[in-house]
Amino acid sequence: MAKDKVVLAYSGGLDTTAIIPWLKENYNYDVVCCCVDCGQGEELDGLEERAKMSGASKLYIEDITDEFAEDYIVPCVMADAVYENKYLLGTSMARPGIAKKLVEIARKENAVAICHGATGKGNDQIRFELGIKALAPDIKIIAPWRDDKWNMQSRQDEIDYAKAHGIHLPFSVDQSYSRDRNLWHISHEGLELEDPSCEPDYKHLLVLTTPPEEAPNEPEYVTMTFEAGVPTSVNGNKMKPADIIRELNRLGGKHGIGIIDIVENRVVGMKSRGVYETPGGTILMEAHRQLEELCLDRDTLAVKKDLGNRLAQVVYEGKWFTPLCDALQAFVKSTQKYVTGEVKFKLYKGNIIRAGETSPYSLYNESLASFTTGDLYDHHDAEGFITLFGLPLKVRAMKMMEVEEKKNAK
């Protein structure tokens, strides 16, 4: 009789590799591994051999890089969705795409369960599980770090467990940063970052980005184009969004762009400190903002900023597949119809310096903005406007004077 199958979200790291024999021993499942490629690069090398050596019956490596860029990153760029004014949602945006692919493979394999290796302290357990529940409420979810059968508490425990099951892995107990990498960013946690009083050891830590003080001494000009809010080219070269992000990562990394050190509020209630490298994403977000300032009216931009912050929270909390997320994205998309044009900026030692922008839908009117009186604006009109605009303040001040006079008359 065939065993039930479980699909394991597999990264190839020590945790998920040790989970393979653990699932077989504790649940008697046939383990099907699924590694979802969101742009991790060389981290995927050698995964199939490692997974099968550890007892998996099959490994899927599913490339969703273009989908990640177009269906998750671009909508968040359009919304200017930034969590707590700093975090550009690199890990958060990837998780719903991974959950969607895990469900797809589970359906294909007729699996009864999906397993992930996220810990019980982090945000990822929430993001994975909310995504799975929204797309496949009938599929069981296994989270070993919250399972009573899981008794491994350290890297050494996991290495020893694997060895006891005849699996010899190329991992050591040496302390290193905990990292998550994809097309958009790389995050770093652990070591000296666990103490907020410590300065990050950037020479040891950085992967994508040159420290700003070591960046070139000459600035580099970059031009980008957008059509309806979607990036379409860099320096005159038309590219799909994923390739634009790759090119901006190269340029931003060279010039020390997008290094963020943040103490953030996790969904589970604790604060955590991490360093994020998002060179291309930081440039892309700033370029989009630069063009929006030219094309969106004041009221729309103000509401969009509020809803962009709301979307950032929704995405951070793993609520991508919800009616609220759909509604927020629909509003944002409606604002992007005329966000079309070209932006120019220069990169210099960690800075993105504005160097001009143009759009056929620009709301900037030089004759209105200049100090010269034009046909559309008469300086005398401001007097009546200020009288009406300031009427509530004046009425209140008059009332307060009246009250004060009555008190002094007693």
What does each of the 410 residues of the chain score in pLDDT, given as a tens digit?
A: 789 999 999 998 899 999 999 999 999 999 999 999 999 877 677 888 999 999 999 999 999 999 999 999 999 999 999 999 999 999 999 999 999 999 999 999 999 999 999 999 999 999 999 999 999 999 999 999 999 999 998 889 999 999 999 888 777 776 688 899 999 999 999 999 999 999 999 999 999 999 999 999 999 999 999 999 999 999 999 999 999 999 999 999 999 999 999 999 999 999 999 999 999 999 999 999 999 999 999 999 999 999 999 999 999 999 999 999 999 999 999 999 999 999 999 999 999 999 999 999 999 987 666 656 566 777 888 889 999 999 999 999 999 999 998 888 87
Note the pLDDT of residue 94.
98
230 Cα distance to chain centroid? 17
* Helix residue spans in 28-89 (DSSP H): 47-53, 65-67, 74-79
> For tokens 């770093």, what's the residue?
188
Tell me, yes or no, if 15 is annotated catalytic.
Answer: yes
Token pair, residue 287, equals 């370029």
φ/ψ of 375, rounded to 5, equals -70, -30
pLDDT of 375: 67
Would residue 127 show up in a list of annotated catalytic residues for this protein?
no
Kindly report the number of other CB atoms within 10 A of residue 205's CB atom.
19
Output the pLDDT for position 316.
98
Tokens of 404: 């004060």
User: Cβ neighbours of residue 92 under 8 Å, at least 6 residues apart?
Assistant: 83, 123, 127, 315, 316, 318
For residue 371, the model assigns a pLDDT of 59
Type of residue found at 109: E
CB-facing half-sphere around the CA of 380: CA atoms within 13 A: 1
Which residues contact residue 401 at a Cβ distance below 8 angstroms, ignoring those fewer than 6 apart?
A: none
The phi and psi torsions of 124 (rounded to 5 degrees) equal -65, -35
Tell me the pTM.
Answer: 0.93
pLDDT, residue 170, reads 78
Query: Cβ distance 161 to 21 under 8 Å?
Result: yes
pLDDT value for 221: 98
Identify which of 148, 34, 52, 162 has the alpha carbon closest to the alpha carbon of residue 99. Answer: 34
Domains and CATH numbers, the chain: 5-164 (3.40.50.620), 178-296+339-358 (3.90.1260.10), 375-404 (no CATH)
What is the distance between the terminal CA atoms of the chain, rounded to a whole angstrom? 98
CA distance linking residue 217 with residue 233, whole number of Å:
26
What is the pLDDT, as a whole number, of residue 409?
85
Q: Give the residue among 78, 109, 5, 102 at the shortest CA–CA distance from 337.
A: 78
- Which entry of 124, 180, 181, 359 is annotated as an active-site residue? 124
| CB 368, CB 374: distance < 8 Å | yes
To the nearest 10 degrees (0 to 180), the angle between helices 14-27 and 155-164 is 50
Task: Give me the catalytic one of 4, 57, 157, 178.
Answer: 178
List Cα–Cα distances, 389 to 68, 384, 386, 393, 394, in angstroms. 47, 8, 5, 9, 10
Can you say how many angstroms the Cα of residue 98 is from the centroid of all Cα atoms in its chain? 14
Of 50, 80, 95, 127, the catalytic one is: 95
Radius of gyration, alpha carbons of the chain: 26
Q: Is 147 one of the catalytic residues?
A: no
pLDDT at 373 (0 to 100): 56
Structural contact between residues 125 and 116, judged by C-beta atoms closer than 8 angstroms: yes
The answer to whether 155 is a known catalytic residue is no
Q: Quote the pLDDT of residue 216.
A: 98
